[in-house]
Structure 1
């Protein structure tokens, strides 16, 4: 582990100035607290959970810290109240789940009842006379009660700013592509704005258009939503001004040069409705998108056709694409079909590029200073502030930390017919990564037309987005169905000449040579106390067409084209506000059917789950465009009117969408699981990797077994979740087949036989990545875990590469990475993120090994690859790679980074809350689990 050296001297100097300037203001939560004798403890609203609702969100509610608090943390290790008080409780489930009982759930989760008991009130704030914000002693969560609708939303904004003002500022700048100008030119900051801005490179007019469209098209609900949003913004700005004037604003504003520590001169810019749209575009793009990647899919198809010929190559490609694998785990498993995005019998309008002609579109221009050094991002996971450093040199987030391909969330629900109480039980939540503070924040909202407790993304929290109402609870997982398509627009020259593939800025649109729209973002930065990155600047540029943004250029039959990406939710990130409004309204949501209708108003691609005292239910939301007949959604299509989305209006990016009845949905099924797996029969997977082995199997097998036994309780369902969250998918699902191949003949090499025995012992014990005893920071079966981590990428390459050939194997691995174990780091920058085993070659390996073993395989691969189909040759390949893996030292399997020494297996997996500000937290035991999680069982209903 590299020792961190930093600008402690500069930080100490700032601390002296800050103390001298009187910046040791009271913590934001207590700044406007009323004396206890003035607190108006009104009766809590109707709460049908009766103490049987619980939740958890680490590391803590409080995400703001003054400059003095940041410096005290760096110098002395102290943390502001409620900034880290939930992490130990969250982590402790890894060692405490096995003996869990319903009575013991409160040791690992917090009571999620409405209201705050009188003896648990920590502070009361009244930012207006029509709203009260009460925080509890245990967690510091804001319980917001408004006498008016405006006051309720105003209070939500005020409380959000109390808890997340700096983070909200970061994310509005990420959405607008101006993070480096705001927080410094670190390479990771550049990566963040380059990742998100091209997905939604909006102008101010674009933002305002979204707002006006909601008002014009959604009637009274739209007007109410925009009024709530404006009240929320007003609340944010009220706290912003009070904190600035009172000098208890987040200290990061001083460290990044926005406010002077001595004079208080400087500005924390006001928030606006358009800022909310910018934040929503980041959240929606990260967690609610789906599809895309058709250019890379086309390249792998071409590689397959080049190796095997068109017919056989297409068959091989389809067997790896696995759009509707009959062995895939499904959320709706009662046989109901919901056909969507399936492969047409006679595809038309395809736009495969000429081999070797595809070039990614350039994004960054005019680099100067530190932006023009050509230096690569560091391998370690960078973050904003580090202990004893006081600078932001590494950027606010590691590159790829908000990778849209990582869905992460999960859900387990059991219907009342199979529970001990006769009422449905749900254990569910979103996995949004581990950050400090969290991207989500907890709140309770009680006001006219609103009654809910749960989480919202900071900056768009005028409603609870996942949580509970008076007698129902709901949550979501990312669905990622195909709502994004790639079009090939034919390039043209306005003078009628021959267009240049790389420089042409006109394209044919419905027969006319039409100019592309150039969108630019110019960013410049200079060193500050917090960011020593040298002065620099650069320009981002994207070309926008009526078919979306240009992502690649190529030729088709020799003619130059540009490939564009068109997402149905583009220009509509804010529309989903109506669905969230309805979910918070108990007069609208009265049962599973009305919940499904509310979720249908959410345009993002999500799986929504519901539980009350009578019914468990499910609905898949999203703006699923109706494609022209014969169009293959998995591959690029020609940008011609005949192949456009049905009723496509390019001005507003609207089209015909599949109706409510065609969305996967269910109520009363025996149980539901979701871990970002396929939804239902007929609902084609939007990408590679949804085959016979998926991490959803870890949940499905356990919940199915519970249901078969009957008498499911909150504790037993939580145990199933926790056990799955510590299990190595490869060890549970693939190792039995690998061992069957290895043991098909005696292993005569005693060293290899000992390794095989270690793996057998680990598999028998449950194939978990779990400490020997809680707090030991050493895994049981550590050698077997290390062997599997080293072996998997070696065995996959040896299993498939000889048969596929180097080019096709490379193309397929570009579609789908071979591994996503906790130690695989999801690419060099994604370490310590928690979520694992979503994407990998598990299903490919499973089918191929079973084919070698002569077992029955539904939807087999087109060919058998391991050992060329020979069991003996396959065994030899596995033994060779196993020997290589066993000989690989731990220091190579688990390379060091800024958080871990090389070879530290436990630490390599561990959860690290990536700082978005000046407060850091200790590493925690790895668990593949939602960040925010609810455990609910309602005993009664209205």
Structure 2
């Protein structure tokens, strides 16, 4: 029977995947030959005239650098995807920033100011004429030029009109991230599976965000209308900029469609046909930008929640110890305002927020055993996809139950008083996870009222969101203060009506129906399901329970709900050289950002810090840690449910500072008396890794850029547990001679590792083997065993499990955690290191400020505690590498380096290799301005 000739590009790819290896080379060459012509035509269409002169002054003096792995180019044609899949070849600039980024893990020790740009890009404005790779007039416009440099392919957009500038920004964004932008506008609407297929990961992703932001198209448009109306001329300018930006995106869609160089993922998912050009790529519209913003705001700028989980653990503590002592135990583990916590604002200023009220009012604690999570998925069909999707849904549900909102960025900023040059130095950036293509993209924008270079989220790059202006730089870390509250709405009539101000009111039902057909891209069977969210005036329903026998629904209300667009004004200001001329202007701009971020600033003379977010003013007596009744007495002050607006704490009440000696941030506590929503802001936090190093540099004086990079990089390869907790554990063990040979051998290895710096680094660059590998394996195995052995006997299983629901015991590099799961890089933010530290110090008889309410290790007896530690250590030391690192789809069991390694998670067709672990921002700047306007 003759072989069927493939009729479509998708058929061609299926046939290619089935061919034996020795035939694939010839097959792919034939296929690519038929597709490569459009790529060549696209490249040839770019003009080659000289780069225009920079339109703005650059005051950085060549001392601004940045990096964003894997690379600027996030689009690939079908031919390029096939070449990557078959041979590992990479499109130009798809991963050229990955190698330098990875190299810092071992290269930082020999770093000098002169070699910084071996590991970073030169972030000066403009492109030298001998470094111009291409010059383009998008859509033939005369009012904007896009120049790309040879080294990184970053777009440098220069416009003579505001419209042309933003048109160019949109065009460049689509050139570099069109597929990713399309993916996330569908994620924001809960439509990813219908767009990209029913893979379990797709279902889990859309479910995660739809629960938090179940918006209708009218909701998305209303956000835009309010933002424009409420912000006068700046609001109108933001709308005009967005419209021009969209025009640029859509112009590129049309050009790539007619030229047949659109991203190959459209072909692989059945939206386009690379051979016949059948199919369409939908134009972007203004509400797509809101959908994108809702995803980013939910991921990185939305602190709080978890009140139901808090209530369950408090009830477990009170059940174990009684109400009075149980509450003390709970509060000691919560560490709302721990006196030993590392602070960003450390000059003694106090910024009270979220404190425990003297007498709590309005609490709506659930009856024991009555809490159930509100189902999200209905009407499911499908075979193979069904079980995987159920698993993804369950995983998403567990994440929603957690009060730990994942934040991963860091900042190190030193005042000019303590630097060698007399100018401030900053090393800072956001950790947005590792993806291929990356969620962020680099760009420079120069035009009327705009002058900036840096990173922006793909699809929201009408302004630079993190980067530099003419004579200043800014960056952010996730702050996590509590802007989300849980309300208990009393049900009436049935399960879908509730009492609102005494009136029985129907809930709003919001649904998103998705269906998908089998595609090669995700490998799933056909299927469909409906996501359903019930909304009240107090936000979406998350749980149901009874309170005092009354049926209630627990809802989640956040101040940024229905307001994701508002922050655009702050970003517009940060890009405006006419607005930001100093630290006070920077703080004013950051005040217009309603996401929960810590913002940092440096110019040639000053440094500054501001904590942003719409912090609601709560009613007197409301404890933000727990659910409260949905009644007027416990609502936010002057709350308007129609617009979800309220009174917010004034800017002066937010942690802020100018010209402190230094600032560090690694998602730690911001300031004295300022309570975040995160558990674990105690005596040991990964922020200590930065604070200890920067404090020493500042004390010595004469800080240089390379020294500050080294401090960041050193902290980024250090095991927090080993540096700050392990010495205390060994002190307990060494309180008597260790006679057991296995235990003694383990202790010797751990002590040697601590003495060598407690780092997880390769023996040499590229070796893929750790120095002190046995010690690392032992601690990775020991930590969960010792925490359980130390705390579970005293707490009891129920309370121990409840507390682990509030805060996981470990976040080692090889653990599956965070929004990207395992291989995520970011580590050691969430764990029981502070609890172990305080408990062990108490057992040793040392001074502990803010101690735990009880002693747990051996009931406080040093000898008994020592026995527990040695017993669990021996058990850990006897575990093989394969047991500690069980392997996954990427790594063989027992491969320690691979288990820790960072993977660029594929969001498209191009794959990149994994790199050695670093606990470090994804996008990062190193800046030292030499002059000021």
**Bin for the TM-score computed over the shorter chain:** over 0.9
1:490 maps to 490
Q: Which of 688, 698, 709 is matched with 2:689 structurally?
A: 698
Contact 2:304 2:405 in 1 (8 A): no
* Cα deviation, residue 372, structure 1: 6.8
Contact 1:145 1:446 in 2 (8 A): yes
Q: Which of 105, 111, 115 is matched with 1:100 structurally?
A: 111
What SS is found at the alignment partner of 2:897? Answer: helix
Q: Give the whole-Å Cα distance in 2 for the aligned partners of 1:925 and 1:783.
A: 18
1:9 paired to 2:22: no
2:479 maps to 479
Q: Deviations over 1:567-587 (max 9, x none)?
A: 100000000000000000011
Q: Which of 877, 883, 897 is matched with 2:888 structurally?
A: 897
Q: Give the whole-Å Cα distance in 1 for the aligned partners of 2:44 and 2:669.
A: 48
Q: Deviations over 1:478-523 (max 9, x none)?
A: 0010000000000001xxxxx4xxxx10000011000000000100
2:467 maps to 467
Q: Deviations over 1:723-760 (max 9, x none)?
A: 00000000000011100110011101122111101000
Q: Which of 352, 358, 367 is matched with 1:345 structurally?
A: 358
Contact 1:893 1:903 in 2 (8 A): yes
* Cα deviation, residue 530, structure 1: 2.1
Residue 703 to residue 29, structure 1, CA distance change in 2 (3 Å): farther
Residue 273 to residue 262, structure 1, CA distance change in 2 (3 Å): same
TM-score by length of 1: 0.95
1:72 paired to 2:63: no
Q: Which runs of 5+ in 2 are unaligned?
A: 1-12
Q: Give the whole-Å Cα distance in 1 for the aligned partners of 2:726 and 2:117.
A: 36
Q: Deviations over 1:17-53 (max 9, x none)?
A: 8546545422798354113xx3353245200001000
Residue 440 to residue 404, structure 1, CA distance change in 2 (3 Å): farther
Residue 376 to residue 282, structure 1, CA distance change in 2 (3 Å): closer
1:831 maps to 822
Contact 1:626 1:656 in 2 (8 A): yes
Is the deviation greater in 249-258 or in 521-530? 521-530
Q: Give the whole-Å Cα distance in 1 for the aligned partners of 2:98 and 2:29.
A: 31
Residue 937 to residue 304, structure 1, CA distance change in 2 (3 Å): same
Contact 1:29 1:123 in 2 (8 A): no
Q: Give the whole-Å Cα distance in 1 for the aligned partners of 2:854 and 2:497.
A: 44
2:643 maps to 652
Contact 2:67 2:924 in 1 (8 A): yes
2:422 maps to 422
1:219 maps to 232
Q: Which of 289, 295, 307 is matched with 2:308 structurally?
A: 295
1:756 maps to 747
TM-score by length of 2: 0.95
What SS is found at the alignment partner of 1:215? Answer: helix
Q: Give the whole-Å Cα distance in 2 for the aligned partners of 1:690 and 1:370.
A: 45
* Cα deviation, residue 378, structure 1: 7.9
Q: Give the whole-Å Cα distance in 2 for the aligned partners of 1:623 and 1:31.
A: 49
1:667 paired to 2:658: yes
Residue 716 to residue 583, structure 1, CA distance change in 2 (3 Å): same
Q: Give the whole-Å Cα distance in 1 for the aligned partners of 2:68 and 2:672.
A: 34
Q: Which of 862, 865, 871 is matched with 1:874 structurally?
A: 865
* Cα deviation, residue 673, structure 1: 0.1
Q: Give the whole-Å Cα distance in 2 for the aligned partners of 1:868 and 1:97.
A: 44
Contact 1:188 1:399 in 2 (8 A): no
1:279 paired to 2:287: no
Contact 1:30 1:123 in 2 (8 A): no
Q: Deviations over 1:764-820 (max 9, x none)?
A: 111000011111111100000000000000000000000000000000000000000
Residue 738 to residue 22, structure 1, CA distance change in 2 (3 Å): closer
Contact 1:848 1:861 in 2 (8 A): yes
1:130 maps to 143
Contact 2:62 2:124 in 1 (8 A): yes
* Cα deviation, residue 899, structure 1: 1.2
Contact 2:602 2:608 in 1 (8 A): yes
What SS is found at the alignment partner of 2:348? Answer: coil
Q: Give the whole-Å Cα distance in 2 for the aligned partners of 1:399 and 1:249.
A: 36
* Cα deviation, residue 169, structure 1: 0.4
What SS is found at the alignment partner of 1:574? Answer: helix
Q: Give the whole-Å Cα distance in 1 for the aligned partners of 2:719 and 2:901.
A: 14
* Cα deviation, residue 187, structure 1: 1.0
Matches within 5 A, 1:38-437: 38-43=49-54, 45-127=56-138, 128-370=141-383, 373-375=386-388, 405-437=405-437
Q: Give the whole-Å Cα distance in 1 for the aligned partners of 2:547 and 2:236.
A: 47
Contact 1:32 1:124 in 2 (8 A): no
What SS is found at the alignment partner of 2:566? Answer: coil
What SS is found at the alignment partner of 2:254? Answer: helix
2:572 maps to 581
Contact 2:55 2:158 in 1 (8 A): no
Contact 1:158 1:232 in 2 (8 A): yes
Q: Give the whole-Å Cα distance in 2 for the aligned partners of 1:717 and 1:228.
A: 37
2:7 maps to none
Q: Give the whole-Å Cα distance in 2 for the aligned partners of 1:804 and 1:139.
A: 54
Q: Give the whole-Å Cα distance in 2 for the aligned partners of 1:742 and 1:34.
A: 71
Residue 598 to residue 827, structure 1, CA distance change in 2 (3 Å): closer
Contact 2:320 2:326 in 1 (8 A): yes
Q: Deviations over 1:404-458 (max 9, x none)?
A: 8220000000001100011100000000010011100000000000000000000
Q: Deviations over 1:593-616 (max 9, x none)?
A: 110000000000000000000011
* Cα deviation, residue 76, structure 1: 2.0
* Cα deviation, residue 896, structure 1: 1.0
Q: Give the whole-Å Cα distance in 1 for the aligned partners of 2:259 and 2:570.
A: 37
Contact 1:474 1:610 in 2 (8 A): yes
Matches within 5 A, 1:469-548: 469-493=469-493, 499=494, 504-548=495-539
Q: Which runs of 5+ in 1 are unaligned?
A: 383-394, 494-498
Residue 443 to residue 263, structure 1, CA distance change in 2 (3 Å): same
Q: Deviations over 1:146-204 (max 9, x none)?
A: 00001111100000000000000000011000100000001111101110111111111
Residue 928 to residue 540, structure 1, CA distance change in 2 (3 Å): same
What SS is found at the alignment partner of 2:777? Answer: helix
Contact 1:23 1:247 in 2 (8 A): no
Q: Give the whole-Å Cα distance in 1 for the aligned partners of 2:370 and 2:875.
A: 38
Q: Give the whole-Å Cα distance in 1 for the aligned partners of 2:864 and 2:819.
A: 33
* Cα deviation, residue 72, structure 1: 1.1
1:805 maps to 796
What SS is found at the alignment partner of 1:47? Answer: coil
Q: Give the whole-Å Cα distance in 2 for the aligned partners of 1:433 and 1:22.
A: 33
Contact 2:42 2:261 in 1 (8 A): no
What SS is found at the alignment partner of 1:176? Answer: coil
What SS is found at the alignment partner of 1:208? Answer: helix
Q: Which of 771, 784, 791 is matched with 1:780 structurally?
A: 771
Q: Give the whole-Å Cα distance in 2 for the aligned partners of 1:468 and 1:746.
A: 57
Residue 584 to residue 29, structure 1, CA distance change in 2 (3 Å): farther
* Cα deviation, residue 823, structure 1: 1.4
